[in-house]
Amino acid sequence: MTVPLIERFRDRLPVSAATPVVSLGEGSTPLLATPRLARAAGVRDLWLKWEASNPTGSYKDRGMTVAVSKALERDAEAVLCASTGNTAGSAAAYAARAGLPALVLTPEGAVSGAKLAQTRMLGATVLEVRGSFDDALRAAQELADRGTHVLVNSLNPDRREGQKTAVFEIVEELGAAPDAFVLPYGGGGNTSSYAQALAELGLATPIVSVEAADRRGTLATAIRIGEPVHARAVRDAGARVLSADDDALVAAWRALASEEGLFCEPSSAAGLVAVLRGDVEGDRVVVTITGHGLKDPAAADLHAPPPSLVAPDPDAIAAVGAAAAGERTA
C-alpha cells in the first residue's frame, strides 16, 4: 500500500496525532539515472528526481498534503491560492479530498489549458485575474489576511515543510548527499524548502537554482513570475542563481524526452540547462524535474516534430519509418 508522505516523514513534519492526514499517495517519487545526458554533460552520475509522478503531476503535492491537512486541523473553511497552474491543480485536488472549497486565482491567458482543465475538473472555483501572477498573488495574500481562506501558496510554511521531503528521499536513496541539487527557480519556495531540509540534515550541499532569463515572458509559463516572493530566502540560503533562455530550455526539454524517455513540462528542464552547459560542479548531481509534460501539451505541440501522413500501406509506412530511424541515428 502507498505510504502517505506525512506518514513516511511524520517525525520531521509539523503534524501530530490530531492532524487529519489528507493524502493522495504523494512523494516517494523515482530517482532515475540518466546516462546519456550524463555523458553529454560530462557528469559521472546524473540523477533526476522525477516529481512528475506525484498524484497531480507536479512536486506541489508534497507541500499541499501538509498545508491542506493542517488547514483542516485548524477548522479552515476554504483554501485559496494564486497560481501559474500547478499549485492550482494540487490545491484543487487536496481540497476536494478534504471536502473543502478551493478558490484559485490565475493570471489571465498565461496558464496552460491542461492545468486549467485539471483544476476545473477537480472542482475548484477558478478566477482569471486581469494581471500577472504577481498581481494575483498580491490579491490572494490580501484576501487571505481577512481570515476567510487559508492561503496554500508556498508562503504558507506548511507547504515548504512538505516540499523539503524531496531532499530527505534523495539523500536516503543515495546513502549520502550528492555534490549538488539543481532545480528550477520561479518564486523560490522550493529552493527555500531544499535549503531548510539541508539545514535540518546538517548538510552544506550546494543548491543551484535556475530561473528563466526572461522571467516575465518565458514560454515556460509555470515559472513566468516577475517578482519571486522568496528571493531573500533564496539569497540567504546561499543558493547559486543561474538563468536559462528559452532556446536553451527547449533544447534541454527535448533532449530529456528524446534521449531518456522522460517528458516533462518546459519549466522543469531549467535545472538541466545549467548541467548541460557545464555550469554545475561535481561527479554526482541531482536535478529535480518538477512537472509532467502532459501538464502543457500545447507547448509540446509547438516544438515536437509533427506526424507524417501516409497511406495505410506497409511499403509506404516502412519507407517513412526507415527514413525517421535514419534521421535519429544520423
Dump strand ranges (E) for the chain: 31-33, 45-50, 79-82, 102-107, 125-129, 150-151, 180-184, 207-212, 240-244, 284-289
Which residue of 4, 27, 55, 184 would you call a contact of ligand F0G, by CB under 6 A? 184
Dump strand ranges (E) for 121-187: 125-129, 150-151, 180-184
132 binds ligand F0G, rule: CB under 6 A: no
187 binds ligand F0G, rule: CB under 6 A: yes
265 binds ligand F0G, rule: CB under 6 A: yes
Which residue of 84, 112, 132, 218 would you call a contact of ligand F0G, by CB under 6 A? 84
58 binds ligand F0G, rule: CB under 6 A: yes
Question: Residue 308: CB partners within 8 Å, gap ≥ 6?
Answer: 320, 324
154 binds ligand F0G, rule: CB under 6 A: yes
**Grid cell locating 38:** 550524463
104 binds ligand F0G, rule: CB under 6 A: no
Strands of 180-184's sheet in order across? 31-33, 45-50, 284-289, 180-184, 207-212, 240-244
For the bound state, the minimum distance from the C-beta of residue 79 to ligand F0G, rounded and expressed in Å, comes to 14
**Grid cell locating 270:** 531549467
**Grid cell locating 96:** 476536494
The C-alpha cell 499549485 sits at 87
Q: Return the range that interacts with ligand F0G (CB under 6 A); candidates 40-48, 78-86, 96-104, 307-315.
A: 78-86
* # of chain residues touching ligand F0G (CB under 6 A): 22
CB-wise, 302 or 323, nearer to ligand F0G? 302
185 binds ligand F0G, rule: CB under 6 A: yes
Closest by Cα among 112, 107, 83 to 95? 83
CB-wise, 100 or 223, nearer to ligand F0G? 223
Which residue of 222, 242, 250, 276 would you call a contact of ligand F0G, by CB under 6 A? 222
Which residue of 223, 249, 273, 276 would you call a contact of ligand F0G, by CB under 6 A? 223
Report d(CA 199, CA 183) in Å as an integer: 17
CB-wise, 10 or 157, nearer to ligand F0G? 157
Binding mask 271-300 for ligand F0G (x = CB under 6 A): -------------------xx---------
- Are the CB atoms for 106 and 85 separated by under 8 Å? yes
Element (H, E) at 270: helix 270-276
